[in-house]
DNA sequence: TCGCAAATAGAACGACCGTGCTATTCTACC
DNA sequence: GGTAGAATAGCACGGTCGTTCTATTTGCGA
């Protein structure tokens, strides 16, 4: 047990700097992309030597993979987990959407936009471990949206004949559109557009005669 | 005049190889991204020396800009021009959408997806001439969609209170969603989703009591 | 046919890339 | 306090990047 404890202490020392490295790496990758992230630049940014930093990972592939894992974890913590603690049905869908937007608006954590979105475009023609990871992460996200939509159907909030796959696809397309319009086109109306579109999506998805107000008043009514 | 003709002949010789270079460069950029395009790789692909190829452009920036210009021109020729030869109103909107999808499905010209879409994500945090160009190209596209939607309103096809900006945003988001789902997620349902969503967008945009059938039968009815 | 200018090639440059090897520093335990 | 082992640094390597300079080849017009 003591040796195990000792080992943990060692691990803590390493893991701490490793976490700091990944934190900086996430921001750089957000700006420069996962392929634009270089070891030299990262080392300079965290104040280490290239070789010292390199030793934490067994190669660049591994560094990139770690960054993608960190980005996914960050996303799950900020968007998925809190949403799935909301009440089942439309409230949860709403939370999912709101958290996603807030996450994309978090300029401190993501100064250059979502690492996962840009990575999925950078990697879409480069087979390998990185691509596989991003693909799985995105698929998981979609599946979770579908799951939440299915629950909303079961709860009677959404139409029983709703195509949950189409719902998830549409919702994700709106998120992509927002990300794109905000970041590249710098359109000030991006947020207004995405919110109105999402509201419309909710309306056409609801079961007839059902409406769950934003302030959730109807829940107790 | 003769000297001018002679000059043109010289220009033709250079322009011919330059066009061949850009053709190959477009395909590479489609796969590797506009930042992933390197002069050495491109030179090897077209069978030239690095320096010989380099001489056609005054620097890498200029090469990249030329590639983006070529991509834009390709897009305008394949999507915009033919669509704006269609009848005003909903038929033109439909053509715009169809041409866009066909363009994205053109694996021969775009083996790795749209250069402009991936470039707009690669460049969204790198100020400069390249970013400015892509931003303008994207803005022009959006404005043209808005213009076409406005015409459809004037023609009485679309609701008079339609928010044409929101329409263009939604339509473009669907295109992004399709591109994303098809390329990264390799979802076989991507095309079905985008077509159904677009159909739904048309339905909520139409003037009450109006329907323009896909086969355009109603146009003469 | 010759000459001139455009087009292309060759070689070299400095910079940065990822990576390995070998010290050196640090730190928790005996 | 000494020591083992983890963490970090220093340095050098081969390779590729964009770029420049200097030949060489090419092809049209006089």
Q: B193–A36: do the CB atoms touch at under 8 Å?
A: no
User: Other C-beta atoms within 10 Å of B103: how many?
Assistant: 18
Residue B129: CB less than 7 A from any atom in strand D? no
Residue A60: CB less than 7 A from any atom in strand C? yes
> Tens digit of pLDDT for each residue in B49-75?
999 999 999 999 999 999 999 999 999
B90/A209 Cα distance (integer angstroms): 31
Percent of chain A's residues with pLDDT above 70: 89
User: What is the chain A residue with the closest CA to B141?
Assistant: A185
Using pLDDT thresholds of 50, 70 and 90, give the confidence band for residue A219. very low
Which DSSP letter does residue B157 get? S
- The helix (run of H) or strand (run of E) holding residue B32 is helix B2-32
Task: Check if B64 contacts A (Cβ < 8 Å).
Answer: no
Name the token pair of B192. Answer: 């079905």
Residue A40: CB less than 7 A from any atom in strand C? yes
Chain B residues inside the 8 Å CB shell of A125: 30-32, 111-113, 183
Nearest chain B CA: its distance from A92 CA (Å): 22
Output the pTM of the full model.
Answer: 0.92
The answer for B 117-156 residues in CB contact with A (under 8 A) is 117-118, 120-125, 131, 134-135, 138-139, 142
Percent of chain B's residues with pLDDT above 90: 87
Is it the case that residue B148 has pLDDT exceeding 60? yes
B169/B92 Cα distance (integer angstroms): 17
> Tens digit of pLDDT for each residue in A139-183?
999 999 999 999 999 999 999 999 999 999 999 999 999 999 999
Is it the case that residue A218 has pLDDT exceeding 90? no
Within 7 Å of a protein beta carbon, the nucleotides of strand C are 5-12, 16-22, 27-30
Coil/strand/helix, residue A154: helix
Q: Are B191 and B142 in contact (CB under 8 A)?
A: no
pLDDT of residue B212: 65
Average of per-residue pLDDT across A20-31: 98
B182/A71 Cα distance (integer angstroms): 23
Mean pLDDT, all residues of chain A: 92
Name the token pair of A86. Answer: 């909301």
Residue B19: CB less than 7 A from any atom in strand D? no
> Tens digit of pLDDT for each residue in A71-125?
999 999 999 999 999 999 999 999 999 999 999 999 999 999 999 999 999 999 9
Report how far Cα B138 is from the mean position of its chain's Cα atoms.
Answer: 9
Using pLDDT thresholds of 50, 70 and 90, give the confidence band for residue A15. confident
B7/B26 Cα distance (integer angstroms): 28
Nucleotide nearest to A57 (CA to C1'): C19
A49 CA, C14 C1': separation in Å?
22
């Amino acid at each position: 047990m003591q040796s195990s404890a000792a080992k943990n202490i060692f691990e803590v020392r390493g893991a701490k700097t490793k976490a700091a490295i990944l934190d900086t790496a996430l921001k750089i990758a957000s700006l420069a992309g996962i392929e634009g992230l270089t070891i030299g630049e990262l080392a300079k940014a965290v104040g280490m030597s290239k070789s010292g930093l390199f030793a934490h990972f067994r190669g660049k592939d591994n560094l990139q993979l770690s960054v993608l894992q960190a980005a996914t974890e960050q996303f799950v913590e900020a968007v998925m987990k809190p949403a799935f603690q909301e009440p089942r049905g439309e409230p949860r869908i709403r939370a999912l959407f709101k958290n996603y937007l807030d996450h994309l608006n978090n300029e401190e954590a993501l100064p250059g936009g979502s690492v996962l979105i840009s990575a999925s475009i950078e990697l879409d023609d480069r087979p390998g471990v990185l691509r596989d990871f991003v693909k799985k992460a995105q698929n998981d996200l979609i599946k979770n949206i579908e799951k939440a939509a299915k629950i909303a159907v079961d709860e009677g909030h959404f139409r029983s004949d709703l195509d949950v796959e189409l719902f998830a696809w549409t919702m994700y397309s709106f998120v992509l559109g927002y990300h794109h319009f905000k970041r590249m086109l710098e359109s000030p109306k991006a947020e207004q557009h995405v919110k109105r579109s999402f509201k419309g999506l909710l309306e056409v998805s609801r079961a007839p005669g059902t409406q769950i107000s934003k302030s959730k008043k109807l829940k107790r009514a």
